[in-house]
C-alpha cells in the first residue's frame, strides 16, 4: 500500500526542516518589531489620503468586487484608475489586474504564443517564471542582467523565429537591488527585432524625475517598451497589478488574459486607494526624497562597518532601496534573522532558495521613507552586534 498523504507531506516537510528551508508564518504584529522586510517603500500604506479614499469607496459601494470585470464588475472607478495608470506610465492605455502576480502570469500566457520565443533573465520574479511556463512560446533564459549573453542568445535566434521574440525582465531585481541596463536592453531589442515586457514592480513610485513611474522613465526609454507591467502593492502602498501599453495590447488582454477574465473585479475600496496613491506619488515628491535620504544614510553607515571590517559583505553598488546581505548557507541566515529579531527587535526575513539561488541565502534589507534615523541606527547596531559576536 502507498504512503498516506499525511505521512508523505510530513516527510517532505521534515526534509525542508533539515535543510533550514522550511517556511513558517509568524504574525509580524505580535510584537513591536521594526520592519526592514517591507515593500511599502514610500510608506503610503499609512497615508491618510489612501485610507480616506478606501473608506469612502466602501461607504459608497460596499466591500466586494461582485463579479468579473467583463460581467458586471466594471465601475467608472475602474476605468478612471486605468486612465490614471495610462497617464502615469505615459501610454495609450492600461489594464488593471487583481494582483501583480496575476498580471504577469496572465499577460505572458495571453501574449506569448506558439511560434514565439521568450528570452528571460535567469533571476526574473517567480510570477514571470510561472507566466513563461504557462505560455505556449518557447522560453530561453539568459544570465542575469548580462547584455552580452542576451545578445548571443538573440544572434543565435536570428532568422529562426517565425513569431515574436520577447525579452522579459524585471527592471529592478527584488532580491539583489540591482537594475538592468535598460538603454542597452532597448538597443538589443531594436537591433534584433524583439519586443520588451518590463516588470517595474519595485521601481514604480521611486524612479523617474517627472512622474516617478519607474526605471523606463528614469532612463528615458518608455516609448521603446511594448509592455510595461507594475504593481500597486509596493511603492504605491496598496494592492493589485497593471499592464500599460497600446490600446491594441489592452484590448487583446481584455479578451485573452485568463487571470483578468476569470476572476472577480478588484474591490472598489482598493481601486480608490490605488487612484489616491497615483495622485500622491504625482503631487508629494517628499516621500521619495525621504526614502533616498534614508538609503544614502544607511549605505554610508554600512560602508563604514565594512571599512572597519565589522561586516563581511559588500554594499551593493546600485542606488536602490534594496540592500541584500548575502550570507550563503540557509542555516546562517536563519540564525542571523532570529538573532536580529530577538535581540534587536528587527524584522528581517531570512530569504532562502528557491526565492534566491542555492548558496546565496540572505537578509534582504528594504529601506522605506518612513524609517526614522533611530530605526536605521538600530539596524546598524544589530548588524554590527551580530557580526562581531
Ligand X SMILES: Cc1ncc(COP(=O)(O)O)c(C=O)c1O
Residues at the contact surface with ligand X, assessed by CB under 6 A: 99-101, 104, 125, 127, 170, 174, 199, 201-202, 231, 233, 241
CA 352 to chain centre: 17
User: What is the β-pairing status of strands 361-366 and 322-328?
Assistant: antiparallel
Instruction: Report CA-CA distances (Å) from 178 to 121, 149, 175, 237, 288.
Output: 13, 17, 8, 21, 18
Shortest distance, position 216 Cβ to ligand X, whole Å: 14
Of all residues in the shown chain, the one whose CB is closest to ligand X is 100
3-state SS, 81-102, equals HHHHHHHHHCCCEEEEECCHHH
Nearer to ligand X, 100 or 235 (CB): 100
Nearer to ligand X, 39 or 337 (CB): 39
Shortest distance, position 99 Cβ to ligand X, whole Å: 4
Nearer to ligand X, 204 or 301 (CB): 204
Q: Residue 69 is placed in which grid cell?
A: 470585470
8 Å CB contact between 54 and 239: no
Shortest distance, position 105 Cβ to ligand X, whole Å: 9
8 Å CB contact between 295 and 367: yes
Nearer to ligand X, 175 or 194 (CB): 175
Shortest distance, position 289 Cβ to ligand X, whole Å: 24
| DSSP structural state of residue 308 | T
Shortest distance, position 142 Cβ to ligand X, whole Å: 17
Nearer to ligand X, 174 or 337 (CB): 174
Shortest distance, position 311 Cβ to ligand X, whole Å: 26
Number of other CB atoms surrounding residue 194 within 10 Å: 22
**CB burial readout 148-167, b (16+ within 10 A) else e:** ebbbebbeebeeebeebbbb
Nearer to ligand X, 228 or 378 (CB): 228
C-alpha angle 176-181-183 in degrees, rounded to nearest 5 = 155
Nearer to ligand X, 176 or 386 (CB): 176
Alpha-carbon distance of 35 to 344, in angstroms, equals 11
Shortest distance, position 112 Cβ to ligand X, whole Å: 16
Amino acid at each position: 500500500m502507498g504512503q498516506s498523504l499525511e505521512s508523505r507531506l510530513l516527510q517532505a516537510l521534515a526534509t525542508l526542516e533539515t535543510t533550514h528551508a522550511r517556511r513558517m508564518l509568524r504574525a509580524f504584529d505580535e510584537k513591536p518589531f521594526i520592519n526592514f522586510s517591507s515593500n511599502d517603500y514610500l510608506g503610503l500604506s499609512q497615508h491618510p489620503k489612501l485610507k480616506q479614499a478606501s473608506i469612502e469607496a466602501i461607504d459608497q459601494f460596499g466591500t466586494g468586487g461582485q463579479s468579473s470585470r467583463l460581467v458586471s464588475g466594471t465601475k467608472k472607478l475602474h476605468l478612471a484608475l486605468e486612465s490614471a495608470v495610462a497617464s502615469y506610465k505615459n501610454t495609450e492605455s492600461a489594464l488593471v489586474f487583481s494582483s501583480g502576480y496575476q498580471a504577469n502570469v496572465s499577460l505572458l500566457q495571453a501574449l506569448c504564443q506558439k511560434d514565439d520565443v521568450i528570452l528571460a533573465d535567469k533571476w526574473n520574479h517567480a510570477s514571470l517564471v510561472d507566466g513563461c511556463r504557462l505560455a505556449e512560446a518557447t522560453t530561453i533564459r539568459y544570465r542575469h542582467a548580462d547584455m552580452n549573453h542576451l545578445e548571443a542568445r538573440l544572434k543565435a535566434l536570428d532568422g529562426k523565429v517565425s513569431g515574436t521574440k520577447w525579452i522579459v525582465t524585471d527592471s529592478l531585481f527584488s532580491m539583489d537591488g540591482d537594475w538592468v541596463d535598460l538603454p542597452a536592453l532597448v538597443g538589443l531589442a531594436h537591433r534584433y527585432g524583439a519586443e520588451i515586457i518590463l516588470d517595474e514592480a519595485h521601481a514604480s513610485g521611486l524612479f523617474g524625475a517627472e512622474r516617478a513611474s519607474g526605471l523606463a522613465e528614469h532612463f528615458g526609454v518608455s516609448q521603446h517598451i511594448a509592455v510595461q507591467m507594475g504593481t500597486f502593492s509596493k511603492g504605491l502602498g496598496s494592492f493589485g497589478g497593471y499592464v500599460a501599453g497600446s490600446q491594441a495590447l489592452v484590448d487583446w488582454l481584455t479578451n485573452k488574459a485568463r487571470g483578468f477574465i476569470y476572476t472577480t473585479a478588484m474591490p472598489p475600496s482598493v481601486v480608490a486607494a490605488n487612484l489616491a496613491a497615483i495622485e500622491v506619488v504625482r503631487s508629494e515628491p517628499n516621500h521619495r526624497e525621504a526614502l533616498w535620504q534614508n538609503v544614502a544614510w544607511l549605505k554610508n553607515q554600512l560602508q563604514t562597518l565594512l571599512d572597519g571590517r565589522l561586516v563581511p559583505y559588500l554594499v551593493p553598488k546600485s542606488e536602490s532601496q534594496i540592500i541584500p546581505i548575502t550570507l550563503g548557507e540557509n542555516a546562517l541566515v536563519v540564525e542571523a534573522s532570529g538573532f536580529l529579531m530577538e535581540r534587536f527587535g528587527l524584522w528581517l526575513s531570512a530569504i532562502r532558495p528557491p526565492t534566491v539561488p542555492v548558496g546565496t541565502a540572505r537578509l534582504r534589507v528594504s529601506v522605506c521613507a518612513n524609517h526614522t534615523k533611530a530605526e536605521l541606527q538600530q539596524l546598524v547596531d544589530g548588524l554590527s552586534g551580530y557580526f562581531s559576536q
